[in-house]
DNA sequence: GTAGAGTGTCATTGG
DNA sequence: AACCAATGACACTCT
């Protein structure tokens, strides 16, 4: 076992040297590609090729190779794969690299600490460089990462870990861990692209020549690169090879109170470069940033900015040539710290890292609850290490076993978001899952937008005319219904209407023309039957609305309203009796009474005539007091009957409208829940990205002795200008405490 | 025979 | 004050 380990280590070192010889650098875009797949899954659906869990098996299955990670054939395997991948990557472009400017603020007071810019400390500065054509490595991410790591250490003049020979155990462990990390996290398909390495090589050359990084980008190299369209390592999106970081377009929508302009802008880009659905990605980012912004509103980051940020004019910290649509890169300079091969990788981090302290501190506040103890509580808002360093890295890259560090975005998610997630899950369990929502939508879509369909409306007319009238009236508001009923009842042409007027005038006309009576099917059918049985009564047709009602009270059939009926002599005697009985049954009580009292006009006239005409009509006849009283009662009851029908119909419409509103709200709720699920899912993946990238960056930091920094003692802090600072935890904790108080004060 | 829906009627209220 | 729409409540009929 020991020999195996040694063999592995030696093999890795040899491989690293090999990669460095051919100019391969490791870049963080490995993580970009490895982390974005989940986002793609959100948008495009799951893709087994990007499933993160498969990365663990990647080394055993890639390219058909079946090999155990500890196999002694590892170097052969890696070499073969690397060469193959390099060949494959020859025609690909690569994302511009990320520049990481970190300032070690504490460690040696007399040295060039905060503010100074050691020219040699640009471990993470990278650019495209033409890769050695002889050995472009595209596919072997693990070896590539490691190679880039050591290569950077060599090239950058920073204190590099021993490349061979006297490797300490920490070094070996770190190498092993980083190697495994790269494997586990997965690498992008174009991580080791040709153009990318070309840029890197160029930068490396310039660094060796003592050229400042910003000169590189502002000079010919940058222009030349700008002319070329680079392809995002993950998404394949083409964009100018500049140092852009035009995340401002995104973050502008998320204003932050206390942060200087550009602070937020730098870290978003990588996720926005998805070729398949960049807009969706941007939307997701906007959602994320909006949440973070809400939290950032409560936090003042000015303190940290004053303390640790490079001045605004600092070329290193502000050298983002923010070309639009090229938001990939983020400059993070790790001064006084050597960072292995983190070139553009940090750009992926940027969105999160930036937004955390910026939006900062607020977003992180939940991470370090005041009641938490020791380190966790002290990791402030801007203390990235405390937030992001996972136990894994702590145990491995850390010589002093530090306490377990909280989750990077744990504060974001753990408290508020997790509650929401749980609520959401609960809501889904309660029946608002997307499937049901979609079903609901289908159901509604089939409803033609009206809540009043036959199944829902027991009072709807069974006849086509009736249903149309009913649906139209139901679609209108109840107020319109009442107004329509009022208009119909107020109409002076009662004889033409002859119907109960609930619906509007036009509707009433349609209904009357079709039915000529009360707008309910039972009455209509009865009336029709009666009318066709006795054509002689067709003359009564407009006025027989009351006859059709169900309520036929047993009264003496003696009092037929003879005024509107043809002479009985025209009918045969046998059928005449039957028809009389039938008509008696069809007549209402008031009609029977009117007939009994020998009222000389129809009940319809009594009921529907306007007051003036009604009084005129009464004046034409010499009527007794009993007749007048009956006529007034008939009129009152008739009007009230119509009013009751209208009222009931209105009531039904109101109920149906409420039902439709409830269904609409349920549909909206289901949709919002779906959106929430997707948003939370993307947020979780962002969190994972931030965590892994933080680990990547921090794990590659080396002190002057070439040893990794202890996560328990140091933390990465995201400064307001986009740079990343390596500060001791105590300082970070103090800052965090200060920023914790501010939102509280603000709430007061 | 009973429950429930549909309808008519009365009393009341408010415009 | 008269008229009328709206509506709750009740009764009746029908299924």
CA A500 to C1' B10, whole Å: 19
CA A642 to C1' B9, whole Å: 11
Cβ of A164 less than 7 A from strand B: no
Which nucleotide lies nearest residue A645, CA to C1'? Answer: B7
**Local confidence band at A744 (pLDDT 50, 70, 90 cut-offs):** low
> What whole-number percentage of chain A has pLDDT above 90?
4
**Local confidence band at A253 (pLDDT 50, 70, 90 cut-offs):** very low
CA-wise closest residue to A308 among A718, A748, A736, A742: A718
| A338-339 and A701-702 strand pairing | antiparallel
Residues A314-326: pLDDT tens digits?
Answer: 333 333 333 333 3
What CA–CA distance (Å, rounded) separates A641 from A517?
14
Residues A5-41: pLDDT tens digits?
Answer: 444 445 554 554 445 545 444 343 333 333 333 333 3
Task: State the pLDDT at residue A743.
Answer: 64
Cβ of A644 less than 7 A from strand B: yes
Task: State the pLDDT at residue A584.
Answer: 62
Q: What are the tokens at A423?
A: 């609520």
What CA–CA distance (Å, rounded) separates A474 from A484?
12
Which nucleotide lies nearest residue A552, CA to C1'? Answer: C13
Cβ of A639 less than 7 A from strand C: yes
Task: State the pLDDT at residue A677.
Answer: 97
Secondary element (H or E) of residue A383: none
Nearest residue (CA) to C1' of C3:
A611
Cβ of A651 less than 7 A from strand C: yes
Cβ of A671 less than 7 A from strand B: no
Instruction: Please report, for chain A, how many H helices and E strands are present, in that order.
Output: 32, 8
Q: What are the tokens at A53?
A: 């869990």
What CA–CA distance (Å, rounded) separates A713 from A30?
27
Average pLDDT over residues A115-140: 35
Q: What are phi and psi of A70, to 5 degrees?
A: -95, 10
Cβ of A269 less than 7 A from strand B: no
Three-state DSSP at A554 gives: coil
Task: State the pLDDT at residue A582.
Answer: 60
Task: State the pLDDT at residue A588.
Answer: 74
Task: Answer whether A124's CB lies under 8 Å from A342's CB.
Answer: yes
CA A604 to C1' B3, whole Å: 35
Task: State the pLDDT at residue A378.
Answer: 34
| A238-240 and A229-231 strand pairing | antiparallel
Cβ of A485 less than 7 A from strand B: no
Residues A674-720: pLDDT tens digits?
Answer: 999 999 999 999 999 998 988 888 888 888 888 888 888 888 887 88
Q: Which residue has the tokens 């990647």?
A: A58
Beta bridge partners of A726: A104, A716
Cβ of A518 less than 7 A from strand B: yes
Cβ of A636 less than 7 A from strand B: yes
Mean predicted lDDT score pLDDT of chain A: 48
Task: State the pLDDT at residue A11.
Answer: 52
What CA–CA distance (Å, rounded) separates A482 from A649?
10
Residues A562-588: pLDDT tens digits?
Answer: 333 333 333 444 565 666 666 666 677
Average pLDDT over residues A461-466: 33
CA-wise closest residue to A683 among A264, A292, A250: A292
Cβ of A169 less than 7 A from strand B: no
CA A644 to C1' B14, whole Å: 16
CA A546 to C1' B10, whole Å: 18
- CA A340 to chain CA centroid, nearest Å: 36
What CA–CA distance (Å, rounded) separates A596 from A605?
17
Task: State the pLDDT at residue A725.
Answer: 83
Task: State the pLDDT at residue A668.
Answer: 97
Q: Which residue has the tokens 């036009």?
A: A506
Average pLDDT over residues A272-280: 38
Three-state DSSP at A473 gives: helix
Whether the pLDDT of residue A66 is over 90: the answer is no
CA-wise closest residue to A96 among A322, A334, A282: A322
Q: What are phi and psi of A238, to 5 degrees?
A: -90, 140
CA A658 to C1' C12, whole Å: 30
What CA–CA distance (Å, rounded) separates A652 from A709?
74
Buried b (16+ CB within 10 A) or exposed e, A722-742: bbbbbbbbebbbbbbebbbeb
Average pLDDT over residues A351-358: 36
What CA–CA distance (Å, rounded) separates A586 from A565?
14
Q: What residues contact residue A477 under an 8 Å CB cut-off, 6+ apart?
A: A657
What CA–CA distance (Å, rounded) separates A639 from A518?
13
**Local confidence band at A650 (pLDDT 50, 70, 90 cut-offs):** confident
Cβ of A53 less than 7 A from strand C: no
Q: What are phi and psi of A5, to 5 degrees?
A: -60, -45
Residues A189-240: pLDDT tens digits?
Answer: 333 333 333 333 333 333 344 333 333 333 333 333 333 433 433 333 333 3
Q: Which residue has the tokens 């069809």?
A: A586
Cβ of A640 less than 7 A from strand B: yes
What CA–CA distance (Å, rounded) separates A68 from A85?
20
CA A458 to C1' C5, whole Å: 24
**Distance in Å from the first CA to the final CA of chain A:** 62
Task: Answer whether A494's CB lies under 8 Å from A608's CB.
Answer: yes
Cβ of A644 less than 7 A from strand C: yes
CA-wise closest residue to A588 among A546, A636, A630: A546
CA A505 to C1' B11, whole Å: 29
Q: Which residue has the tokens 């494997």?
A: A183
Find the length of chain A. 748
Task: State the pLDDT at residue A685.
Answer: 97
Secondary element (H or E) of residue A336: none
Mark the nucleotides of strand B covered by protein, meaning any atom under 7 Å from a CB: 5-12
CA A499 to C1' C2, whole Å: 25
Which burial class, exposed, middle or buried, applies to A573 when counting CB atoms under 10 A from its CB (0-12, 13-18, 19+)? exposed
Calculate the dihedral angle through the C-alpha atoms of A378, A381, A384, A386, rounding to the nearest 10 degrees: 20
Cβ of A423 less than 7 A from strand C: no
CA A640 to C1' B10, whole Å: 9
CA A55 to C1' C13, whole Å: 77
Nearest residue (CA) to C1' of C7:
A647
Task: State the pLDDT at residue A576.
Answer: 58
CA angle A52, A57, A63 (to 5 degrees): 105
Task: State the pLDDT at residue A575.
Answer: 60
Neighbouring C-beta atoms of residue A285, cutoff 10 Å: 27
CA A705 to C1' B9, whole Å: 102
Bigger pLDDT: A85 vs A438: A85
Task: Answer whether A368's CB lies under 8 Å from A736's CB.
Answer: yes
Nearest residue (CA) to C1' of B11:
A640
What CA–CA distance (Å, rounded) separates A552 from A544?
13
| A724-728 and A99-104 strand pairing | parallel
CA A644 to C1' C10, whole Å: 13
CA-wise closest residue to A34 among A335, A302, A349: A349
Q: What are phi and psi of A361, to 5 degrees?
A: -55, -30
CA A590 to C1' B5, whole Å: 24
Neighbouring C-beta atoms of residue A401, cutoff 10 Å: 13
What CA–CA distance (Å, rounded) separates A522 from A530?
12
Average pLDDT over residues A353-372: 35
CA A667 to C1' B15, whole Å: 39
The 8 Å CB, 24+ separation contacts for A534-539 are A534/A579, A534/A583, A536/A565, A536/A566, A536/A570, A536/A571, A537/A565, A537/A566, A537/A583, A539/A564, A539/A565, A539/A566
Task: Answer whether A248's CB lies under 8 Å from A265's CB.
Answer: yes
Overall pTM surpassing 0.85 (yes/no):
no
CA A96 to C1' B9, whole Å: 86
* Region for residue A108 given its phi and psi (left: phi exceeds 0; alpha: psi -120 to 50; beta: otherwise): beta
Whether the pLDDT of residue A550 is over 90: the answer is no
Q: Which residue has the tokens 């002859």?
A: A498
CA A644 to C1' C9, whole Å: 12
Neighbouring C-beta atoms of residue A482, cutoff 10 Å: 15
| A701-702 and A724-728 strand pairing | unpaired
Nearest residue (CA) to C1' of B9:
A637
Task: State the pLDDT at residue A143.
Answer: 36
Average pLDDT over residues A148-163: 36
Nearest residue (CA) to C1' of B5:
A458
Which nucleotide lies nearest residue A585, CA to C1'? Answer: C13
Nearest residue (CA) to C1' of C13:
A551
What CA–CA distance (Å, rounded) separates A555 from A573?
21
Q: What residues contact residue A363 under an 8 Å CB cut-off, 6+ apart?
A: A291, A292, A295, A296, A299, A355, A356, A381, A409, A411, A412
Q: Which residue has the tokens 């070729």?
A: A275
DSSP-derived secondary structure for A393-414: HHHHT-SS-PPPPPPTTHHIII
Cβ of A459 less than 7 A from strand B: yes
């Amino acid at each position: 076992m020991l020999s195996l380990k040694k063999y592995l280590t030696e093999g890795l070192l040899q491989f690293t040297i090999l990669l460095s010889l051919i100019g391969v650098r490791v870049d963080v875009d490995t993580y970009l590609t490895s982390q974005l797949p989940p986002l793609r899954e959100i948008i495009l659906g799951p893709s087994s090729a990007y499933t993160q869990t498969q990365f663990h098996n990647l080394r055993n299955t890639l390219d058909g190779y079946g090999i155990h990670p500890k196999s002694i054939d590892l170097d052969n395997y890696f070499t073969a794969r690397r060469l193959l991948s390099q060949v494959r990557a020859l025609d690909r472009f690569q994302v511009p690299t990320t520049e990481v400017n970190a300032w070690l603020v504490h460690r040696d007071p007399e040295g060039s600490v905060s503010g100074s810019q050691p020219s040699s400390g640009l471990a993470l500065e990278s650019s495209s460089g033409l890769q050695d054509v002889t050995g472009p490595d595209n596919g072997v991410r693990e070896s590539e990462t490691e190679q880039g790591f050591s290569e950077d250490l060599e090239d950058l003049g920073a204190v590099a870990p021993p490349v061979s020979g006297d490797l300490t155990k920490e070094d070996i462990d770190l190498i092993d861990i980083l190697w495994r990390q790269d494997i586990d996290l997965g690498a992008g398909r174009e991580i080791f692209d040709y153009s990318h390495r070309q840029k890197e090589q160029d930068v490396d050359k310039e660094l060796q020549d003592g050229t400042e990084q910003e000169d590189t980008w502002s000079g010919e190299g940058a222009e030349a690169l700008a002319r070329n369209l680079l392809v995002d390592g993950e998404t394949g999106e083409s964009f100018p090879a500049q140092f852009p970081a035009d995340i401002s377009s995104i973050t502008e929508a998320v204003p932050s109170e206390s942060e200087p302009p550009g602070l937020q802008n730098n870290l978003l880009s990588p996720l926005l470069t998805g070729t398949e659905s960049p807009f969706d990605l941007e939307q997701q980012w906007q959602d994320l940033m909006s949440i973070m912004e809400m939290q950032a509103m409560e936090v003042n980051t000015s303190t940290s900015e004053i303390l640790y940020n490079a001045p605004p004019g600092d070329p290193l910290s502000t050298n983002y040539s923010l070309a639009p649509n090229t938001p990939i890169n983020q400059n993070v300079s790790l001064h006084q710290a050597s960072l292995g091969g983190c070139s553009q990788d940090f750009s992926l981090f940027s969105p999160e890292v930036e937004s955390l302290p910026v939006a900062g501190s607020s977003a992180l506040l939940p991470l370090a609850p005041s009641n938490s103890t020791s380190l966790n509580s002290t990791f402030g808002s801007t203390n990235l290490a405390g937030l992001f360093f996972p136990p894994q890295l702590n145990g491995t890259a850390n010589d002093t076993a530090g306490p377990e560090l909280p989750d990077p975005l744990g504060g974001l998610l753990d408290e508020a978001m997790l509650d929401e997630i749980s609520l959401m899950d609960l809501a889904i369990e309660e029946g608002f899952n997307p499937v049901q929502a979609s079903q609901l939508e289908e159901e509604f879509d089939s409803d033609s937008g009206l809540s009043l369909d036959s199944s829902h409306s027991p009072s709807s007319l069974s006849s086509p005319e009736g249903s149309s009238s009913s649906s139209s009236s139901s679609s209108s508001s109840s107020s319109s219904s009442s107004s329509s009923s009022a208009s119909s009842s107020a109409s002076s042409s009662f004889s033409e209407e002859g119907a109960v007027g609930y619906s509007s005038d036009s509707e009433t006309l349609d209904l009357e023309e079709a039915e000529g009576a009360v707008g309910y099917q039972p009455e209509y059918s009865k009336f029709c039957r009666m009318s066709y049985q006795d054509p002689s009564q067709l003359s009564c047709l407009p006025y027989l609305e009351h006859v059709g009602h169900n309520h036929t009270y047993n009264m003496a059939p003696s009092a037929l309203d003879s005024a509107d009926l043809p002479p009985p002599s025209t009918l045969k005697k046998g059928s005449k009796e039957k028809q009389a009985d039938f008509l008696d049954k069809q007549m209402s009580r008031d009609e029977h009474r009117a007939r009994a009292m020998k009222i000389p006009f129809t009940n319809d006239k009594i009921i529907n005539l306007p007051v003036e005409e009604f009084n005129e009509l009464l004046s034409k006849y010499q009527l007794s007091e009993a007749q007048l009283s009956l006529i007034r009662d008939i009129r009152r009851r008739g009007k009230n009957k119509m009013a009751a029908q209208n009222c009931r119909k209105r009531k039904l419409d109101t109920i149906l409208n409420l039902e439709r509103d409830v269904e609409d709200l349920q549909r909206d709720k289901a949709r919002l829940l779906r959106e929430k699920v997707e948003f939370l899912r993307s947020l979780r993946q962002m969190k994972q990205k931030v965590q892994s990238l933080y680990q990547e960056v921090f794990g590659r930091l080396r002190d002057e002795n070439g040893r990794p920094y202890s996560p328990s003692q140091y933390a990465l802090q995201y400064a307001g200008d986009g740079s990343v600072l390596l500060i001791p935890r105590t300082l970070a904790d103090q800052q965090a405490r200060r920023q914790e108080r501010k939102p509280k004060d603000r709430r007061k």
